[in-house]
Structure 1
């Protein structure tokens, strides 16, 4: 099991870095990918533009060069943009879909042969969001892309079943990451309220339990999905949203 190899995108901070750290602690070989080469402990780092075909292909090719195999792909890279639909910049829409939806598709396409060959069964585990299951105002690009990721996961699960490949989308609520912290000012502007009110009245409003999720919590779920018991979670969201979608 110590020979298993993974690709994790968006690994410079937040959820991606927590996933890299957890996999390394569990004995995995890991290639962490971000726009700028991330400085990771116990893992290889790669700087690549995942909004391009070339960037995604490079991530897969370099993982195979370094490790000779790919057992797990964790597409996690992304960003957020908050604006009413009539003011939503078209270039931001394009960029969101490129990094949040097209990149997972390309990573699956380019790594599929290696995942098929994984001795213990390949795993494809994108970090989606509760926004793969529910919507929020002012997030047209993000919500649309995350819904698309869930559709991609369902398709991959069906296509990979006979080859032992599983695909599951981890769907957390709001996680304590730089992405969420950056939203505070944007949300304050969009809703016309102070930044002090954003966390309580906007960020945590959907959570039945009024807490932020920690990146390590998400990493723990990803790690579980790589275990033999995790093979039963395929073609479905793995929801960890503090009760958001229970309503």
Structure 2
């Protein structure tokens, strides 16, 4: 049952909102009657996503590059100016290259950290000031990853950023908690999105399905998550039903992180049990 506070429309900022997890998160808040500032670099994709929502009139479209400091500042100021408050910030946007530390360029390293780490940090800083100025506090949710603690050796800047987001979740929770602001992280496992389907080998051949198959065989539920399943977790964390959840992370990975070996290997040992 929703509390009286939860029934009040909230103002939410969602980065990376034009597709995948970000779009699903946006849809969850819009369906609840909330107002959402949708942020993405791809203007056409963002506008199409906003138009497809059940209440497009509850949406503010903000297109721009999160690697640009002025745009990060603009997101918070324009949202606050339009609706007079900010209740929830969802740091979902991500960018990364698939390459090892042996080959990554300084440019790719810095761009990944700028989008996946620096922009969430300063969006949080700016949003927290607005949240603290109100009476009801707020919620900041960082989208980290199970890869923050289970690295694969092929995306060093992304791994570094996602690990740092976990540490900063604890730091921000300690700082902003007395102001009534909760800070939490979500660590998804494999999710069916564009980012999980762009893996190529050295000859340019798409090997995404092979990697997905391997991840799913390591996952007790034997499948990938849908964006909506991650969005459901984010929505719950941002609700009053999670009002004492702070300074921690919610792993949504179908059991992947704590499983020891693949089900292919389990079946070799116990063919009648797995």
Return the TM-score normalized by structure 2.
0.83
Q: Check if 1:199 corresponds to 2:212.
A: yes
Bigger radius of gyration among the two: 2
Quote how far apart the aligned CAs of 1:197 are: 2.6
- Per-residue deviation, 1:49: 1.1
| Aligned twin of 2:178 | 162
**Native 8 Å contact 2:184 2:248 kept in 1:** yes
What is the rounded CA distance, in whole Å, between the counterparts of 1:206 and 1:128 in structure 2?
Answer: 20
Which consecutive residues of structure 1, in runs of 5 or more, have no partner in the other structure?
none
Superposed, 1:168-207 pairs within 5 Å as 168-182=184-198, 184-185=199-200, 188-189=201-202, 194-201=207-214, 203-204=215-216, 206-207=218-219
Give 1:206 deviation, angstroms.
Answer: 4.4
CA RMSD of aligned residues (A): 2.0
Aligned pair in 2 of structure 1 residues 225, 195: CA closer, same or farther (>3 Å)? closer
Matched with 1:81 is: 97
2:159 is the alignment partner of 1:153 = no
* Distance in structure 1 (CA, Å) of the matches to 2:127 and 2:73: 9
Asked if 2 retains the 8 angstrom alpha-carbon contact of 1:48 and 1:58, the reply is no
Unaligned runs of 5+ in 2: 1-6, 260-274
1:224 matched to which residue of 2?
A: 236
1:45 paired residue among 55, 61, 66: 61
The correspondence of residues 1-247 of structure 1 with structure 2, limited to 5 A, is: 1-37=7-43, 38-39=46-47, 40=50, 41=53, 42=56, 43-182=59-198, 184-185=199-200, 188-189=201-202, 194-201=207-214, 203-204=215-216, 206-247=218-259
Aligned partner of residue 67 in structure 2, secondary structure: coil
Cα distance per residue 1:174-220 (max 9 Å; x no partner): 111111112x32xx349x9955533223x435433321110001111
Q: Alignment length, in residue pairs? A: 243
The 3-state SS of whatever aligns with 1:74 is strand
**Cα 1:74–1:196 shift into 2, 3 Å:** closer
CA contact (8 A) 1:36 1:46 kept: no
Shift of 1:106: 0.7
Q: Contact 1:48 / 1:59 at 8 angstroms: preserved in 2?
A: no
Structure 1-normalised TM-score?
0.92
**Against the structure 1 CA distance between its residues 196 and 49, is the aligned structure 2 distance closer, same or farther, given a 3 Å change threshold?**
closer
**SS of structure 2 residue aligned to 1:169:** strand
Q: CA deviation at 1:227?
A: 1.7
State how far apart, in whole Å, the 2-side matches of 1:108 and 1:245 are.
28
